[in-house]
């Protein structure tokens, strides 16, 4: 099972990790922390991005958190994993860097979440399965994922597959309650889930926003929970939850609006 660590700095050698985030600034802070870990281990590092704005944010964080590794952050054109006859595979630059540092290196590319959408999700998940099959290796790898870009109706599948295909993870601390809510789907696949998050998950199940499968080994969004998540993320609701919406309207008319406590999914001030 995937093991959580408090920060990307603490990701150990040999890890293939996911870093969940809800905003560009959070993504940049996580990447700076990841490179701070490289500096403390004396490892060479490579971070690839295809986004000019992220390049600026990453470099700003690296200046603060890992001086000396600024040149490790580079811009590339397009994603760092490209289609091949056997699925997505890293571009040659990534493979060459890994081979050049058999003692271990710190590596990350953020271009998968940049190109993540409903059509590309299956190929991306297959790529993560393949990459994880390469372990054990001497490197530290971080795969950033923007929780606001994962299709809500496939969030259960995506997050469960990502948890199974990574050794470690860093949860988002973004204040967006939609981000906090969606990452609860990871918890059944985590070796050391935080007690506070387990409480939030239990609350979500009690409120009918999530449900456990028969084996109790997985949770998924109910139609009502999917609409709840989409509302928190500022997305339009699913028409398939019309019955739930109608029920909520009836309760609202009688002064009993069916609104789960958002504070259960937001950080305490």
In a domain, 133, yes or no: yes
Spatial contact of 183 and 20, defined as CB atoms under 8 Å apart: yes
pLDDT at residue 239, as a whole number: 55
Q: Same structural domain for residues 97 and 205?
A: no
Same domain, 55 and 130: yes
Confidence class of residue 6 from pLDDT cuts 50, 70 and 90?
very high
- Percentage of the chain modeled with pLDDT above 90: 81
Q: Do 19 and 144 belong to one domain?
A: yes
What is residue 20's predicted lDDT score, i.e. its pLDDT?
Answer: 97
Phi then psi dihedrals of residue 221, to 5 deg: -75, 140
- Between residues 194 and 259, which one has the greater pLDDT? 194
Do 253 and 120 lie in a common domain?
no
Tell me the residue range of the domain where 144 lies.
Answer: 3-176
**What integer is the mean pLDDT of 61-71?**
96
Whether residues 69 and 34 share a domain: the answer is yes
- How many domains are contained in the chain? 2
Question: Are residues 51 and 121 part of one domain?
Answer: yes
With a cut of 50, say whether residue 247 has pLDDT above it.
no
Q: Given pLDDT bands bounded at 50, 70 and 90, which one contains residue 253? A: very low
Q: What is the model's pLDDT at position 238?
A: 64
Average pLDDT of the chain? 88
Summarised one tens digit per residue, pLDDT across range 109-146 is 998 877 888 899 999 999 999 999 999 999 999 999 99
| pLDDT tens digits, 72-107 | 999 999 889 999 999 999 999 999 999 999 999 999
Is the residue at 184 inside a domain?
Answer: no
Same domain, 117 and 217: no
50 occurs within a structural domain: yes
Contacts 24+ apart (CB under 8 A), 197-201: 197/171, 199/264, 200/264, 200/265
Strand locations in 91-230 (E): 105-109, 140-146, 168-170, 210-212, 219-221
Please report, for the domain that includes residue 7, its CATH number: 3.40.50.300
Does residue 214 sit in the same domain as residue 172?
Answer: no
């Amino acid at each position: 099972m995937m093991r959580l660590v408090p920060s990307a700095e603490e990701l150990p050698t040999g890890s293939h990790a996911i870093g969940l985030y809800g905003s560009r600034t959070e993504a940049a802070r996580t990447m700076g922390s990841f490179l701070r870990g490289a500096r403390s281990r004396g490892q060479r590092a490579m971070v690839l991005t295809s986004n000019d704005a992220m390049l600026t944010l990453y470099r700003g964080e690296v200046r603060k958190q890992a001086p000396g590794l600024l040149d490790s952050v580079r811009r590339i054109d397009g994603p760092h994993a490209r289609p091949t006859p056997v699925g997505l595979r890293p571009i040659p630059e990534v493979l060459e860097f890994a081979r050049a540092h058999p003692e271990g290196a710190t590596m990350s590319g953020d271009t998968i979440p940049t190109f993540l959408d409903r059509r590309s999700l299956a190929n991306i998940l297959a790529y993560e399965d393949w990459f994880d099959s390469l372990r054990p290796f001497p490197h530290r790898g971080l795969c950033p994922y923007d929780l606001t870009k994962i299709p809500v109706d496939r969030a259960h599948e995506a997050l469960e597959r990502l948890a199974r295909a990574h050794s470690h993870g860093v949860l988002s601390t973004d204040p967006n309650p939609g981000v906090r809510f969606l990452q609860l789907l990871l918890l059944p696949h985590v070796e050391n889930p935080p007690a506070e998050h387990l409480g939030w998950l239990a609350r979500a199940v009690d409120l009918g926003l999530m449900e456990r499968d028969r084996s109790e080994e997985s949770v998924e969004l109910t139609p009502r929970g999917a609409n709840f998540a989409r509302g928190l993320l500022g997305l339009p609701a699913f028409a398939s939850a019309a019955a739930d919406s109608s029920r909520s309207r009836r309760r609202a008319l009688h002064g009993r609006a069916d609104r789960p406590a958002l504070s259960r999914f937001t950080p305490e001030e």
